[in-house]
Structure 1
Amino acid sequence: MSAPHTPSHTADLLGAAGAVEALRPLAERMRPRTLAQMVGQRRLLAEGSALRRAIEAGHVHSMILWGPPGCGKTTLALLLAQHAQAEFVAISAVLSGLPQVREVLAAAQARFDAGQRTLLFVDEVHRFNKVQQDAFLPHIERGTIVFVGATTENPSFELNSALLSRCRVHVLEAVSAEDIAIALRHALGDDTQGLGGRGLVITDAALADIASAADGDVRRALTLLEIAADIAQGEHGQITEASLHQVLADRSRRFDKGGEQFYDQISALHKTVRSSNPDAAVYWLARMLDGGCDPAYLARRLTRMAVEDIGLADPRALQMAIDAWETFDRLGAPEGELALAQLTIYLASTAKSNAAYKAWNAARKDVREYGTQEVPLHIRNAPTKLMKSLDYGKGYQYDHDVAGGVALEQTGFPDAMGERVYYQPVPRGLEIKLKEKLDTLRAARTQARSGQQAGKKGQA
């Protein structure tokens, strides 16, 4: 039989609990306990919004929470369980395998049989493979669990359709610096869970710097504040500019080298080059390099832009792209990054044309549709007497010997196809001149062939 708790023994237990609480990170201690305490997500959780009303009524459905780190996915899941009066169970797709998933689901089934709901929170759910994701399906359908998956990746690409069809996807946004500053002030003023009892002194400007450095991540902001507060303990509680500089040094921006942000940012770079916006284009280049994107990948994509979007409107662009690529290979970072920046600015500023790109795609389409067409006899190679006896090369006109340097009546296409026009130069850059020349030549060819056909009809 255990000894009864004496007042001193109870005090010891409370003191131990307080000590354990103090060991928890500030970000964990300051986790919101009500919807009203959450910062950010004003669109999703606004007063009167559909999700807010459902949560407050305890009508919680299975869902996928998609958003960047530190935007409140875990906190929202905890509050969902609280309002639904459900047992909160959390697993991580990074740390758990199928055996652990089955154990959790079996325990949830036992609770369900006893009349208790389970809210199963799966962090990094996109890390689970298809088989692991499928394990949740029957339990979601039967209502054994309220499934809440959290992901930083696009669910359309990372989650199977069966799971998506059973869950509502809610998009959470990065928290603004203004909202993060609210959370920081709350932590500074909270005497119980926060830093309120430590006599810290920090300016509004310094607080704004921390909020900005957090890059939309509330958890990160609170961690930075906690580090700054620890340093300030030796400086009479003053969070100085010098100490803050130490804390915020070498901070990185959000970037996923193989995920949604990567593809969004390379799309932004390409499209701002295409839109002739050098200022926006060089910004996205800087963002990607800052995030750790492989410069060789960027050099390759910029070279593609020179071919696809500038084309023959400015043929110099392709050589500049190759030169910039080679310059980076020789210099490396950071000096070589300037070559990529110069290239980006030039590509965005110069004349644009996708005429060659469209012509190439049209030609490839005809190759697929028409199959293996015979080369017309007059433009076949005829290096032997046998080939010549079979009329290879017969009737070919050597263009340099023709007046004007072009044999206008001579076709270059298989007979079954007839003449085709793939390349349509745009009235920009060098293609202005190319268009003038080709328009004249094409009109002359059409006229010459019309005369040729009329002569054949007359002979017939």
Structure 2
Amino acid sequence: MNSLFPDEPTPAPAIPTPGPDAPLAERQRPRRLADYAGQTHLLGPEGVLRRYLNSGRLPSLILWGPPGVGKTTLANLLAAELKQPFTALSAINAGVKDVREVIDRAKRQRGTVLFIDEIHRFSKAQQDALLGAVENGTVTLIGATTENPSFEVIPALLSRCQVYVLEPLSPEILRGLVDKALAEDSALSQKKVKLEDDRALLALSGGDGRKLLNLLEIVVQSTPPDKKGVVHITDAVVQQVAQRPLARYDKGGEMHYDVISAFIKSMRGSDPNAALYYLAVMLEGGEDVKFIARRMLILAAEDIGNANPNALMLATSCFQACTVIGLPESDLILAQTVVYLATSPKSNASYMAIRAAQAEVQQHGVHPVPVPLRNAPTRLMKQLGYGQEYRYSHNGEGNFEEQEFLPEALSGTRFYEPGLNAAEQKIQERLRGWWGEKYGY
């Protein structure tokens, strides 16, 4: 028998009590939902997960958040609260065979919660193996990921799950974890510890509760007490133990949003020097290079567009290269791309065009497609004239045939306004040559 699984799913997803030699973060892991810290937007009185618990039913879901915010613990506690059988897999060492074995066992006991840690590491084949069981309710899937599910989870599986974002733990929550550990932990509570400063502890944890508690334990264990037997914890002591300077960039806090905002606005504003500075701030603060590269991809389409189509190509290559290479070498690729995007001509014409088109659909609904443009897969549709008057563009002079493509109610409506740059002025000239006065180009 595969030792990964018991004969039946665990009847209650109890988190085992750790031994005295387990790390502090494991010793302090909550055993009841009432002790769970943070994520009040999901678990508070009006939180969506709280409403699920009150209804007695849990849907398949993806928990997306940074490390150390309680994704694994939350999955266990949600299943325990509803008294549902629970099975856990890690995407690092589980394969398709393991997934199918869990599903076979779950068929004998409906309502099984299948927790998959680091689900972004599952291949497409492994994720495909889950589809049927998730769709028909054989298992309730809870996936945990530190990566954006839109990029890392296949669309078919993503459409069958609700995605909930777990936030980095706030300074107040982190302070509470420290106080609780010092007061209640079997080892730390036996020591006289005076917490004089907590700025370094909080900053170096980056909103990661596990990192915070493990750093706290190391600091307490390695700091000699004074003559009265008191261990004094100061910022200087924490930095000395961690062997890291105090981070001035909190990738899990408000500064994360301020810096990425300044980074994007600097490139949009054509200042490569400022953009490189904010890039350096993020890299030194441990920001995820894929997060940075993804934002540059968006900027290339939103703020440069067809003023320089190569910008999107370079940004795409940058994202792919950073994904393959990682740090530290990715800093060179990011820097090259930052300079290129910042110094490129700018246009938001495509961004404004799609927003205008979306506003039209949202305000006035969908108009009928012109009959010549409709598909005609059946005899009846052909008899109704679908597609018959369509003119194949490549048969016309210069590969152009003048005809109506918009619905009748929108004829002549212009969504795209070419930007005032050399590349898009050439586009405007081509549009004027094709359409004359129809769109006013």
TM-score by length of 1: 0.57
Q: How far apart are the structure 1 equivalents of 2:432 and 2:244?
A: 56
Deviation at 1:99, TM superposition (A): 1.7
Partner of residue 361, structure 1: 424
Deviation at 1:368, TM superposition (A): 9.3
1:123-202, aligned counterparts within 5 Å?
Answer: 123-192=117-186, 195-202=188-195
1:308-387, aligned counterparts within 5 Å?
Answer: 308-309=345-346, 358-363=421-426
Check the 8 A contact 2:33/2:81 in 1, yes or no: no
Check the 8 A contact 2:33/2:77 in 1, yes or no: yes
Deviation at 1:95, TM superposition (A): 2.0
Q: How far apart are the structure 2 equivalents of 1:283 and 1:185?
A: 37
Residues 287 and 156 (structure 1), Cα distance of their counterparts in 2 relative to 1, 3 Å cut = same
Q: How far apart are the structure 1 equivalents of 2:127 and 2:202?
A: 36
Deviation at 1:219, TM superposition (A): 0.8
Partner of residue 238, structure 2: 244
Deviations 1:236-294 (A, max 9, x none): 451443532223332777879xxxxx999777513244358999856632323313551
Q: How far apart are the structure 2 equivalents of 1:64 and 1:282?
A: 34
Residues 229 and 58 (structure 1), Cα distance of their counterparts in 2 relative to 1, 3 Å cut = farther
Deviation at 1:309, TM superposition (A): 4.5
Check the 8 A contact 1:178/1:211 in 2, yes or no: no
Partner of residue 10, structure 1: none
Q: How far apart are the structure 2 equivalents of 1:53 and 1:266?
A: 34
2:342 to 275, 281, 305: 305
Q: Give 4+ residue runs of structure 1 displaced > 6 Å after superposition.
A: 251-256, 262-267, 276-280, 367-371
Q: Which amino acid aligns with 2:145?
A: T
Partner of residue 320, structure 2: none
Partner of residue 102, structure 1: 100
Q: How far apart are the structure 2 equivalents of 1:264 and 1:152?
A: 21
Check the 8 A contact 2:200/2:239 in 1, yes or no: no
Partner of residue 121, structure 1: 115
Q: Helix, strand or coil for the counterpart of 1:59?
A: coil
Check the 8 A contact 2:419/2:425 in 1, yes or no: no
Q: How far apart are the structure 2 equivalents of 1:201 and 1:40?
A: 25
2:210 to 210, 214, 219: 219
TM-score by length of 2: 0.60
Check the 8 A contact 2:61/2:143 in 1, yes or no: yes
Q: How far apart are the structure 2 equivalents of 1:104 and 1:255?
A: 37
Deviation at 1:33, TM superposition (A): 2.3
Residues 294 and 364 (structure 1), Cα distance of their counterparts in 2 relative to 1, 3 Å cut = farther
Check the 8 A contact 2:267/2:338 in 1, yes or no: no
Supply the RMSD in Å over aligned alpha carbons. Answer: 3.8
Check the 8 A contact 2:28/2:185 in 1, yes or no: no
Residues 137 and 238 (structure 1), Cα distance of their counterparts in 2 relative to 1, 3 Å cut = same
Partner of residue 389, structure 2: none
Deviations 1:282-341 (A, max 9, x none): 66323233135513422432233123259xxxxxxxxxxxxxxxxxxxxxxxxxxxxxxx
1:441-452, aligned counterparts within 5 Å?
Answer: none
Q: How far apart are the structure 2 equivalents of 1:280 and 1:36?
A: 46
Partner of residue 374, structure 2: none
Residues 110 and 287 (structure 1), Cα distance of their counterparts in 2 relative to 1, 3 Å cut = farther
Deviation at 1:198, TM superposition (A): 2.5
Deviations 1:331-360 (A, max 9, x none): xxxxxxxxxxxxxxxxxxxxxxxx987321
Deviations 1:120-174 (A, max 9, x none): 1111111112221111111112322110011112212221221122111111111
Structure 2 alignment gaps of length 5 or more: 1-15, 287-327, 348-417
1:88 to 86, 93, 109: 86
Q: Which amino acid aligns with 2:341?
A: R
Check the 8 A contact 1:270/1:305 in 2, yes or no: no
Partner of residue 25, structure 1: 23
Partner of residue 270, structure 1: 264
Structure with greater helix share of residues: 1
Deviation at 1:195, TM superposition (A): 2.1
Determine if the alignment matches structure 1 residue 54 to structure 2 residue 35.
Answer: no
Check the 8 A contact 2:220/2:233 in 1, yes or no: no
Residues 265 and 134 (structure 1), Cα distance of their counterparts in 2 relative to 1, 3 Å cut = farther
Deviation at 1:201, TM superposition (A): 2.5
Q: Which amino acid aligns with 2:202?
A: A
Check the 8 A contact 2:272/2:339 in 1, yes or no: no
Q: How far apart are the structure 1 equivalents of 2:181 and 2:346?
A: 51
Q: Which amino acid aligns with 1:214?
A: S
Check the 8 A contact 1:68/1:152 in 2, yes or no: yes
Q: How far apart are the structure 1 equivalents of 2:433 and 2:129?
A: 49
Q: Which amino acid aligns with 1:164?
A: L
1:44 to 42, 45, 66: 42
Q: How far apart are the structure 2 equivalents of 1:149 and 1:122?
A: 5
Deviations 1:365-409 (A, max 9, x none): 7569979xxxxxxxxxxxxxxxxxxxxxxxxxxxxxxxxxxxxxx
